[in-house]
Amino acid sequence: MRTIGRIRVSLAVIVMSALPNILTAQPKPPVTEKKPHVTKIHGDTLVDNYFWLREKSNPDVIAHLEAENAYTAAMMTGTEALQQKLYDEMLGHVKQTDVNVPYRLGEYYYYSRTEEGKQYPIYARKKGSLDTAEEITLDLNELAKGLKFLSLGSYRVSDDGNLLAYSTDSTGYRQYTLFIKDLRTGALLPEKIERVDTVMWATDNKTIFYVTEDNVTKRVDSFYRHVLGTPAYDLVFHEPDELYDIGAFRTRDKAFIVVESGSKTTSEARYLPANKPDEGLRVVVPRRNDHRYFLDHRGDRFYIRTNDHAKNYRLVTAPDSAPEMKNWKEIIPARAEVKLDGFDLFKDHMAVVELKGGSQTIRIVDFTTGKSTPIVFPEPVYSVFLDTNPEYETTALRYRYQSLTTPSSVFDYDMEKHASTLQKRFEVPHYDASQLASERIYATASDGTKIPISIVYKKPLVRDGKRPMLLYAYGSYGSPTWPTFNSNRLTLLDRGVIYAIAHIRGGGELGEPWREAGRMMAKRNTFTDFIDAADSLVKEKYTASDRLVIQGGSAGGLLMGAVVNMRPQLFKAVVAQVPFVDVINTMLDASLPLTTSEYLEWGNPNIKKEYDYIKTYSPYDNIAAKQYPAMLVKVSLNDSQVPYWEGTKFVAKLREMKTDTNPLLLKVNMGAGHGGSSGRYDALRENAADQAFILKQMGISE
């Protein structure tokens, strides 16, 4: 009880004393009690004084998080007007009442729309034509009443259009509950299934298949079948290997239900006919270490994207009656400089997505003629993604194009006439693209590797080192960080800030070799690439260290923690969002979500060689008595991917060890998960607060 009293007194002192006296005295940060927790492994003794902060049900922990929030609010006193101005500007760039481009599925056109003043989208459809009456299928604003958080997971309509299977998460913990809605009456069916990851319909419009997570680690491991209105929920498949998660989908031609088991390096697929839901699953190709493959279906054949003898993947086909490898027929060979990143099958065409030179391309293959035609894009630095394409018998391919200066734009590409038609460019009020410029530049890493950097800035740019910069990166899981448009970024660009993305190793921008060069025992390349990119930007006078702010989230938060330990003097300030910074402790705890499946991304610290390597960069374990840049660390109480205590412990240890007086702030979202607030206006408020911190560190006050 003494601890609770001390922390609550500290909170009261911050709230009552520090806020009114901010101009005369700096508020005092919360004092985090030390409770040594000892771990002995591989001859090492690890002492974690702040391990106790993971006790979410402990009132002391909640009081401490609230004290940190109060301290952050006190330290940000004086920026309220700037935060409001930033919020107003961001909101001014949003068309609050808007509608997405409808897509056709069966007899209906489906779309979502937003209304001014409402936090969440409204999902709706129209039958036969866009001129008919609207039918609202799901209004998330109604579902969110009385909730601090709401996220929509699955949204699947039965083939006959009568039933909607949807799932929602009301905490941010990525724990979704599945409901079935009768769209004819608006009533919910009795089914209510917990911990559902995704769902799909059989052809009979009454059988659903779904996958669920376990109750402890949240590993998605079970595939079920259920006939609506019956008491049976049949387990069809369980994945026993803790390195694997499962997913499931229905092929675009609606012929098969496919269940995929996958680790970070290996995959295996099973299938059953969608019109014969009672059949058992058949394996396509049995799993083999380091073999990954992904499939879809057309006609009487599976099309399989495989890394068998193909680091960057190749495409093969096989009869759906005998898909084993001996029957594979190659149709797109492997290429060293081009990654086959995906493909979408239609009745007469195939859209092939490829990565080349750090950019995405789409080309259309005509199955009748065999001809391959690339889609041409207008800018040298851009992002393009295949959009919603649910119909199999179509000649129109929908894709979404954008760049650092071009807002998100939806196109329909005629796969026979080879022409793109703009369906909608999302309106950004009060935006003049002619004032901005973007480019792709390169930094040279310490081993000679060229690191792409995408930048955008307000013209004109004079490279004299006087412009402030926000440098962002991720660099993990082979996940690319593409140069996309974000209207919230305009508030920074308008104030002269250069925004840059470092496409570092560990990401996927340059294919599988790029990913492999930044994972496991090569993970440090991710961090040194980022430092080399920052050094280059300073050397080339795009910015200077005293005005360079860096930002990253989740695994990108790990990046932030690692680089500030390695080169703290290179950066003016850091924003680390839901940062994965306590790598050793987390990876030693197999009961936590994600841990076991991540052994093939970071390494397993139970293995000495891998433990030793992780220890060289784990941010929490490498904090030292030295000067650090100003830092804003953001966590969420209900985060299941990176628990709140990681960033909280990181801040506590930094406060104990660092020798500077730079601001170190912890902001805790007490009602959300990994992605922060779910409501769009709440998210804008969060963004405005982040930007106020960033601009303050850059010396910009308005």
Residue 312, helix vs strand vs coil: coil
Between CA 511 and CA 450 the distance in angstroms is: 14
* C-alpha to C-alpha distance for 646 and 553, rounded to whole angstroms: 13
Using the structure block, give the residue that is written with the tokens 């200066």.
Answer: 405
Out of 674, 677, 678, 690, the active site residue is 674
Q: Compute the chain's Rg from CA coordinates.
A: 26
- List C-alpha distances in Å: 110 to 78, 113, 122, 130, 349: 46, 10, 11, 9, 23
Q: Are strands 196-201 and 207-213 parallel, antiparallel or unpaired?
A: antiparallel
Q: What is the 3-state secondary structure (H, E, C) of 650-694?
A: HHHHHHHHCCCCCCEEEEEECCCECCECCCHHHHHHHHHHHHHHH
Q: Is cis: bond before 460, omega within 30 of 0?
A: yes
Please give the helix or strand (H or E) that residue 562 lies within, else none: helix 555-566
Task: Indicate the SS3 state at residue 16.
Answer: helix
* Residue 584 tokens, joined: 């050793």
Cα-flanking dihedrals φ and ψ of residue 276, to 5°? -135, 65
* Token output for 276: 């014969």
Gap between the Cα atoms of 522 and 511, Å rounded? 16
CA atoms of 309 and 643, how far apart (whole Å)? 38
Set 10, 408, 438, 554: catalytic member: 554
The sign one gets for the Cα dihedral 444, 473, 359, 310 is positive
Taking the mean position of all CA atoms in its chain, how far away is CA 680? Answer: 17
At 124 the three-state DSSP class reads: strand
∠ CA 297-299-303, nearest 5°, is: 35
Taking alpha carbons only, the member of 550, 576, 564, 558 closest to residue 660 is 564
Q: Residue 111's Cα: distance from chain center in Å?
A: 23
Residue 291's nearest CA partner among 325, 263, 266, 273 is 266
Amino acid at 583: V
User: Which candidate, 619, 700, 608, places its Cα nearest to that of 653?
Assistant: 619
Distances (CA, A) of 532 to 214, 240, 263, 515, 537: 42, 42, 31, 18, 9
DSSP letter for each residue of 41-86 = ETTEEEEETTGGGG-TT-HHHHHHHHHHHHHHHHHTTT-HHHHHHH
Listed in order, strand segments (DSSP E) in 115-160 are: 122-127, 135-139, 151-157
| CB crowding 233-255: b at 16 or more within 10 Å, else e | eeebbebeebbbbbbbebbbbbb
Instruction: Report the alpha-carbon distance of residue 662 to residue 74 in Å, rounded.
Output: 15
Alpha-carbon span 423 to 85, nearest angstrom: 33
Task: Compute the CA torsion angle 562, 567, 568, 572 (nearest 10 deg).
Answer: -110
Active site residue 554: yes
Q: In this structure, are strands 548-553 and 573-577 parallel, antiparallel, or unpaired?
A: parallel
Residues 660 and 571: beta-carbon distance below 8 Å: no
Of 60, 245, 639, 690, the active-site residue reads 639
Q: Which amino acid is at 624?
A: A
Active-site amino acid positions:
554, 639, 674
